Structure 1
Amino acid sequence: MSGIDYAVFIHETAIVDEGAEIGEGTRIWHWVHVCGGARIGAGCSLGQNVFVGNKAVLGNRVKVQNNVSIYDNVVLEDEVFCGPSMVFTNVVNPRAGVEKKDEYKDTRVRRGASLGANCTIVCGVTIDEYAFVGAGAVVTRDVPKFAVVAGVPARRIGWASHAGEMLGDDLVCPREGRKYRQVAKDLLEEVVSE
């Protein structure tokens, strides 16, 4: 497959601690810090001033925009998009004077989900496949597959397709033509033709 660059690119201002796993074709930009225990898949892009913790895991083709910290116990599956300055947390009730590293909660963002600029993902939740979190939203509970959520706290306001397009009442993706059906209040599935 010609034309594909498999080399890892690490900008001269970035710090990648010894032991970090970085997949081929990943690009790490200005002032990024990747801790030694981090695992980053292939074809990822980490924008400037990104931090990746020791126990963070990023799948393949993950795109992290500028000024995002991916803390311990956060897992981003393949093709997750993190918008600029969005926030993950790792403790529910932090205090500066109380050590709570043994209270970190797991946060998982499943394949193809998009997290908008300046949104906050409170630890312990799962953002399911192809969900779309609006800019500035505060997610305090699990987000269903294909759901579009917005607000503080975040609530479902619609559905998104695999391609990230808002679905109308017909539940047909305007970009790809994929069809979906709602099978419960917060459950959408793709209609697979036989």
Structure 2
Amino acid sequence: MSFYQHPSAIVDDGATIGDGSRVWHFVHVCGGARIGKGVSLGQNVFVGNRVVIGDDCKIQNNVSVYDNVTLEGGVFCGPSMVFTNVHNPRAYVERKDEYRNTLVRRGATLGANCTIVCGATIGDFAFVGAGAVVTGDVPDFALMMGVPARHVGWMSAYGERLELPLKGDGETACQYTGDVYRLTDGVVTRTVKDAL
């Protein structure tokens, strides 16, 4: 496979990294990691053994992607955002057999300095604001902000706020792509403009 690795980066034997990926300064990728094509790992990123990173993800500086985290394609991890994998850590108590899985679905954005408490699933194209602390599952296209994170709106796949109510039913189109978004019973679905 053909990827760029900065001389200061460490990629342990056994790790797989897809074509066109970039591994920047002081990155450490553990041997069990599976990383897709076109991924960017910014300065000082750590990737654990039991981690899967899909194609086209962008992981900014100072992010640690610990064991039991899976990122689907096109996920954006902002600078210094945090994943966890133990729900109740103690220095004196070994809990490596209690890791909880975290899944970040396709196209989601995790803003700078946000924290994802382990065990959560972040939905397709969800958007977690900078500094938010996510303690549970996040719906597709949801905008989450605050500590703890609250659902405050909806975001398009393009990354713009949608004019949809938090609850009830509604329909709107993204002004940039023309994609149509429908809210029905608390679930947002997207119809791509070219498929109309």
TM-score normalised by the shorter chain: which range applies?
Answer: over 0.9
What are structure 1's unaligned runs of at least 5 residues?
A: 1-5
- Map of 1:63 onto structure 2: 58
CA distance in 1, matches of 2:25, 2:176: 34
Contact preservation (8 Å) 1:44, 1:60: yes
CA distance in 2, matches of 1:119, 1:172: 28
- State the identity as a percent: 63
Q: Deviations 1:64-123 (Å, cap 9, x if unpaired)?
A: 000000000000000000000000000000001110000000000000000000000000
Tell me, yes or no, if structure 1 residue 146 matches structure 2 residue 146. Answer: no
CA distance in 1, matches of 2:191, 2:177: 13
- Listed as ranges, the matches of 1:17-166 within 5 Å are 17-166=12-161
CA distance in 1, matches of 2:18, 2:39: 8
CA distance in 1, matches of 2:8, 2:79: 19
How far does residue 174 in structure 1 lie from its aligned partner after superposition? 1.9
Which deviates more from structure 2 when the two are superposed, residues 43-52 or residues 174-183?
174-183
Question: What's the secondary structure of 1:75's corresponding residue?
Answer: strand
Which deviates more from structure 2 when the two are superposed, residues 163-172 or residues 30-39?
163-172
RMSD over aligned Cα atoms: 1.2
Which deviates more from structure 2 when the two are superposed, residues 114-123 or residues 165-174?
165-174
TM-score normalised by L of structure 2: 0.93
Contact preservation (8 Å) 1:167, 1:174: no
Q: Deviations 1:50-73 (Å, cap 9, x if unpaired)?
A: 000000100000100000000000
CA distance in 1, matches of 2:174, 2:134: 25
What are structure 2's unaligned runs of at least 5 residues?
A: 165-170
Query: What is the count of residue pairs matched by the alignment?
Result: 188
CA distance in 2, matches of 1:156, 1:150: 7
How far does residue 172 in structure 1 lie from its aligned partner after superposition? 1.6
How far does residue 164 in structure 1 lie from its aligned partner after superposition? 1.1
Contact preservation (8 Å) 1:130, 1:162: yes
CA distance in 2, matches of 1:86, 1:30: 18
Q: Deviations 1:2-52 (Å, cap 9, x if unpaired)?
A: xxxx83000000000000000000000000000000000000000000000
Question: What's the secondary structure of 1:102's corresponding residue?
Answer: helix
CA distance in 2, matches of 1:91, 1:83: 21
Contact preservation (8 Å) 1:43, 1:62: yes
Whichever structure has more strand as a proportion of its residues is: 2
Contact preservation (8 Å) 2:27, 2:44: yes
